[in-house]
Amino acid sequence: MNLLPQIVDLYVEPALSSSGDGLLVGLKLENGRIYWGDCALSLDAQSIISQIQPILGGQPLSSFQELIAQLDNFHEEVRVTRIIQSEPETSASAGTFSRRKLISGFLADDKAQAQPVEVVEKRPLPAPLRFAISQALFSAAAVESNQSLLSLLVDLYGAVAASGKISLHVEANEANMAVVRSILPAQVASLGYNTGSTNHKATLGANAERLQAHVRQVKAWIESVAPEAAPAIHLNIQGGFAELYENNEGKILGALYGLEQAVKPYALVMEN
């Protein structure tokens, strides 16, 4: 892995999770970017984070594997109070016993003494917190090295990437495009586009000309970034053709034929 930015700080922020209150663990890099990991438990993590800070601080993301190993080897020292049972000192052990104890059974009267003792225990990083920090590290390493999570795993651990496509449908929206570009060649079987459920004429065009122009752009984009990929182009027009063509089947079939020609050689999947 090429030289990547250094880690400069760790954050802990409260967050809401589906199971209740949780935490967000933030990893800040020297370039100002922050990557987050989700911790499902609400625990007092600030003291632990302060101990982990010296381990991660100033380290480059290119040392990803070494940093993960250090997290695995991390142990927090915790002072706890344990109740220790001391050995009973019986009258028999002292060499004397009374007539009363002889009759009632002197052993029944001899009880171990419970004493509180403070001890130091070494505990590993709590699993939810370790997951959150690892998630932030992993996301940061993937994005900063311009790789997908899968390709990063392959590079770091010598894993074998799938040789065929995984049946994965990905929505082609602005939030997903950075990821889509990296996984398109081998993992995307269907690239989706949702036109929305209102204002169809403005969105699609009076005769679906805007939609056809869009799918031509999608086709050109696929050919430019991943010419070896062959995903289906999935259009969800949410009743758009029924509204545009007033349920005229002939016109709808004509529009579908035009779209099919526009996306060739890719397959067209329509959802209305």
Higher pLDDT, 18 or 265: 265
Q: What percent of the chain has pLDDT over 70?
A: 82
Taking each helix axis from N to C end, the angle separating 149-157 and 177-187, rounded to the nearest 10 degrees, works out to: 60
How does residue 106 score in pLDDT terms, banded at 50, 70 and 90? very low
- pLDDT computed for residue 116 by the predictor: 83
48-52: average pLDDT: 80
- pLDDT computed for residue 105 by the predictor: 52
Q: What percent of the chain has pLDDT over 90?
A: 14
For residues 21 and 18, what is the distance between their CA atoms, to the nearest angstrom? 8
- Peptide bond preceding 54: is omega within 30 degrees of 0, i.e. cis? no
Instruction: Reply yes or no on whether the pLDDT at 177 is more than 80.
Output: no
Name every residue whose Cβ is closer than 8 Å to that of residue 92 and which is 6 or more positions away in sequence.
106, 107, 110
Instruction: Out of 3.90.550.10, 3.40.1360.10, 1.25.40.80, 3.20.20.120, select the CATH number for domain 169-271.
Output: 3.20.20.120
Whether 144 and 4 have beta carbons less than 8 Å apart is answered as: yes
CATH architecture classification, 7-73+126-157: 2-Layer Sandwich (3.30)
Q: Where are the domains of the chain?
A: 7-73+126-157, 79-88+97-122, 169-271
Whether 35 and 139 have beta carbons less than 8 Å apart is answered as: yes
Report pLDDT digits (tens) over 4-16. 899 999 888 877 6
Higher pLDDT, 80 or 161: 80
How does residue 88 score in pLDDT terms, banded at 50, 70 and 90? low
- Within 10 angstroms of residue 177's Cβ, the number of other Cβ atoms is 14
How does residue 86 score in pLDDT terms, banded at 50, 70 and 90? low
Higher pLDDT, 81 or 34: 34
Rounded-to-5 percentages of helix, strand, coil across the chain: 40, 25, 35
Instruction: Reply yes or no on whether the pLDDT at 102 is more than 90.
Output: no
- pLDDT computed for residue 98 by the predictor: 55
Query: Buried b vs exposed e over 87-124: b needs ≥16 C-beta within 10 Å?
Result: eeeeeeeeeeeeeebeeeebeeeeeeeeeeeeeeeeee
Instruction: Reply yes or no on whether the pLDDT at 191 is more than 50.
Output: yes
Instruction: Reply yes or no on whether the pLDDT at 123 is more than 70.
Output: yes
Higher pLDDT, 259 or 165: 259
Instruction: Reply yes or no on whether the pLDDT at 240 is more than 60.
Output: yes
Instruction: Reply yes or no on whether the pLDDT at 1 is more than 70.
Output: no
